[in-house]
Amino acid sequence: MKTEGLTARLNSAGLLRTQGLIGGKWTDAYDGKTIQVLNPATGEVVADVPCMGGKETNDAISSAHDAFYSWSNLTCTERSKHLRTWYNLLISHKEELGQLITLEQGKPLKEAIGEVNYGASFIEFFAEEAKRVYGDIIPATLGDRRLLVLKQPVGVVGAITPWNFPLAMITRKVGPALACGCTVVIKPSELTPLTALAAAELALQAGIPPGVLNVVMGNAPDIGNALLASSQVRKITFTGSTAVGKKLMEGAAGTVKRVSLELGGNAPCIIFDDADLDVAVKGSLAAKFRNSGQTCVCANRLIVQEGIYDKFAEAFSKAVQNLQVGDGFSEGVVQGPLINESAVQKVESFVQDAISKGAKVLLGGKRHSLGMTFYEPTVIGDVKSEMILSREEVFGPVAPLMRFKTEEEAISIANNTNAGLAAYIFTNNIQRSWRVTEALEYGLVGVNEGLISTEVAPFGGVKQSGIGREGSKYGMDEYLELKYVCLGDMNRK
Ligand code: ADP
């Protein structure tokens, strides 16, 4: 059986870790309970992992707290070297980590290895940034004083991450946190904990001291509540649904923790009459169908100007028809399964709602004949703003096309949402590209490009899509406190 063969290989490479990591020790749940991790392409059990809760989380917090003093007191060069070694190990194990991602998450192996490169790039980037945590000297307003600003690590960080990028969502939090001198308790998604555990194993091999990086998983609300209740946890960083993000923000108020939230999107992808058709098709295809539509920056609404609508709908549908669906380990597959049955049911209900309100299925529109959680890559035309498809994130391989007449109307449709993460526009008019970019209430804008994420640029949303930025030099600020120091009695003559 394929899953068994792969897990045996990963096990012998030491990368199939199936326990939590607390204070450098691989640990079972204290009551021995476990949960199954499934391969979404086949339904097979990949592994059992501990179902942890509040007790284990409190111990992980204590370990992170104990490790904080020594880790934050290392020189920036020492922390940087540890991160660099971790990066080298992630890259030298990219095949195995990619296999783990495909096994537990379903994305095609090539895309999974791409995620390893992307995920590791945050560790490399922040290994470098560790050396650039500059303070400031402020010109004093009184002659006998000197005014300084120091930057210091926030403290223990609770990092809660989703299943759609089992590695990258962790590294882009843990990279800057560790670089700044923070220690972390990671809670990966229960659906995809194995990649996180393998990355943690490599962190230990890289010499990152016990307690600096801890991993717990299991009962999400219990773990979340323990992180929120602890006054030792000074920051919560979260990527996931808007509903859970709001709960965490509310819960963080009790101990006045800092929060960074990267929540849901409802990305518009505006295609103007003056766009290059091939560029628009290629860009929107990538923006929509990456990870089978399961990313928060996936184009959720293709808003197409009336003059190019028919031509675009035809060319786009043709391109979508060519997307090969299947098990992520099969050659040529570019669309894997959805993460689980409830994800498919959500997609089905959104599509059904659109059809019942007059939308037209141009391609797909149903479960794939492969069964399991495979869904046909789908294009739906004549979608209107009252349909759920255009109001909420579908998080699946369904591209809704909406029609517009004027630039003002396109901007108004695009901004008519509580979300504000990514937006895309396709136009060859340079003035328009600036005007529309400035008018879009979004944290990221791709102009004539559908794949825009990179470790060197700030990623994050406005409105209810979140707070804070990840990646880039700005990503460091999320893990740093400013300390103003006034040196008095300088005896200046
Ligand atoms: P998704 O719909 O993408 O799974 P979620 O917000 O449910 O998004 O999950 C993102 C992460 O948040 C996962 O690690 C999940 O286990 C965790 N999570 C879910 N509910 C809670 C909670 N009440 N407290 C803390 N973490 C939670």
Residue 265 Cβ contacting ligand 1 at under 6 Å: no
pLDDT in tens, 36-77: 999 999 999 999 999 999 999 999 999 999 999 999 999 999
Of all protein residues, the one whose alpha carbon is nearest to atom 17 of ligand 1 is 220
What is the arrangement of strands in the sheet containing 156-160, beginning at the earlier edge strand?
25-27, 20-22, 213-215, 183-187, 156-160, 233-239, 258-262, 466-467
Give the mean pLDDT of the chain.
97
Q: Report pLDDT for 79.
A: 98
Q: Report pLDDT for 2.
A: 75
Q: Report pLDDT for 135.
A: 97
Residue 466, pLDDT > 90, answer yes
Instruction: Read off the pLDDT of each residue in 283-306 and give the average, rounded to a whole number.
Output: 98
Q: Report pLDDT for 490.
A: 86
pLDDT in tens, 145-161: 999 999 999 999 999 99
Q: Report pLDDT for 4.
A: 86
Q: Report pLDDT for 131.
A: 98
Residues 64 and 57: beta-carbon distance below 8 Å: no
**Distance from the alpha carbon of residue 134 to the mean position of ligand 1, in angstroms:** 35
- Cα Rg for the chain, rounded, in angstroms? 23
Instruction: Read off the pLDDT of each residue in 485-491 and give the average, rounded to a whole number.
Output: 91
Instruction: Read off the pLDDT of each residue in 8-31 and give the average, rounded to a whole number.
Output: 96
Name the residue with tokens 């879009």. 440
pLDDT in tens, 81-116: 999 999 999 999 999 999 999 999 999 999 999 999
Pick the catalytic residue: 51, 182, 269, 296?
296
**Distance from the alpha carbon of residue 170 to the mean position of ligand 1, in angstroms:** 14
Q: List Cα–Cα distances, 262 to 50, 154, 169, in angstroms.
A: 26, 19, 10
Instruction: Read off the pLDDT of each residue in 271-277 and give the average, rounded to a whole number.
Output: 98
Ligand 1 mutation target, pool 160, 173, 260, most atoms within 8 A of CB: 160
Q: Is 341 a catalytic residue?
A: no
What is the arrangement of strands in the sheet containing 136-138, beginning at the earlier edge strand?
136-138, 146-153, 480-487
Q: Report pLDDT for 45.
A: 97
Which residue would you say has higher pLDDT here, 220 or 490? 220
Pick the catalytic residue: 104, 124, 201, 262?
262
Residue 328 exposed, middle or buried by CB count within 10 Å (0-12, 13-18, 19+): buried
Residue 387, pLDDT > 60, answer yes
Which residue would you say has higher pLDDT here, 11 or 156? 156
pLDDT in tens, 160-174: 999 999 999 999 999
Residue 240 Cβ contacting ligand 1 at under 6 Å: yes
Residue 57 Cβ contacting ligand 1 at under 6 Å: no
Range scoring the smallest mean pLDDT among 11-15, 233-237, 281-285: 11-15
pLDDT in tens, 302-342: 999 999 999 999 999 999 999 999 999 999 999 999 999 99
pLDDT in tens, 341-372: 999 999 999 999 999 999 999 999 999 999 99
Residue 1, pLDDT > 90, answer no
Name the residue with tokens 């009962």. 219
Residue 224 Cβ contacting ligand 1 at under 6 Å: yes
- In this structure, the number of other CB atoms found within 10 A of the CB of residue 314 comes to 14
Q: Report pLDDT for 327.
A: 98
Q: Report pLDDT for 492.
A: 60
Give the whole-number percent of the chain exceeding pLDDT 90.
97
Of 386, 284, 289, 371, nearest to 327 by C-alpha is 371
Q: Report pLDDT for 412.
A: 98
Residue 241 Cβ contacting ligand 1 at under 6 Å: yes
Q: Is 478 a catalytic residue?
A: no
Residue 227 Cβ contacting ligand 1 at under 6 Å: no
Instruction: Read off the pLDDT of each residue in 195-201 and give the average, rounded to a whole number.
Output: 98
Residue 233 exposed, middle or buried by CB count within 10 Å (0-12, 13-18, 19+): buried
